[in-house]
Amino acid sequence: MFFNITQKQCSKCKELKSQSEFYKGRYECKACTDKASRKYQASHREKTRAYDKKRYSKERDRRTKNAREWKKQNPDKVLRYSRTSGKEWHTQNKERANEMQRKRYLVNPIKNLLASLRWKKEHPEENRQLVRHRQAKKREAEGKITAKEWIDLCNKYGNKCLCCKRTDVKLTLDHVLPLKLGGKNIISNAQPLCGSCNSSKGARHIDYR
């Protein structure tokens, strides 16, 4: 006679749980096993990292291949993660994220430099916006203007310089109330001007809108 055993008692917490809540060949439930694993990793960080690096080096090709295949099969999940979880993690771990980025750059600086130059060439407006954001951050100005907000603002005013009214010139973002005078780096404080008019305006509070 055969018995279909669907439940099992955890040897640690002594609770009776279904077979699906146990790893194969284990007598401790998944919850207890994971808890013990986290505790061990916390108290043996260096040893755990060394083991992970050694294991990853052996399985690098297989893991990379599997990761690429998963990304191709789940583009929506990849996009959602990059927009939410990724940004949240970077916001909460800025120093660690910056350190990891520096380490990745040092591994292959030439490759990363070429990739950066290629991105700047393919995304000129986004790159200009990043430069403006860094400049505003140095002046400790509040707010951030996205590339989409800037493009929408230019379209709103017919893609022309609001000072000289020309449409055959490259437009630059001008802060109506300059950052030097306490202006905020927000779209409601921005206006499109050509390079010449922007330079002529200087650090004066002039609204051409």
In a domain, 112, yes or no: no
The enclosing domain of 177 has a CATH number of 1.10.30
Q: Residue 39 belongs to what H/E stretch?
A: helix 30-43
In a domain, 30, yes or no: no
* Domain that includes residue 160, residue range: 123-201
Q: How many helices (DSSP H) and strands (DSSP E) are in the chain?
A: 9, 4
- Please report the pLDDT score of residue 180 as a whole number: 84
Per residue in 127-179, pLDDT (tens digit) is 777 777 777 777 777 888 888 888 899 999 999 999 999 889 888 889 999 88
Domains in the chain, number: 1
Point out the residues of the chain with pLDDT beneath 50: 1-3
Nearest to 11 by CA among 25, 3, 2, 200: 25
In a domain, 20, yes or no: no
In a domain, 134, yes or no: yes
- The one-letter amino acid code at 33 reads T
In a domain, 196, yes or no: yes
CA distances from 50 to 39, 76, 99, 103, 178 (A): 17, 34, 19, 17, 52
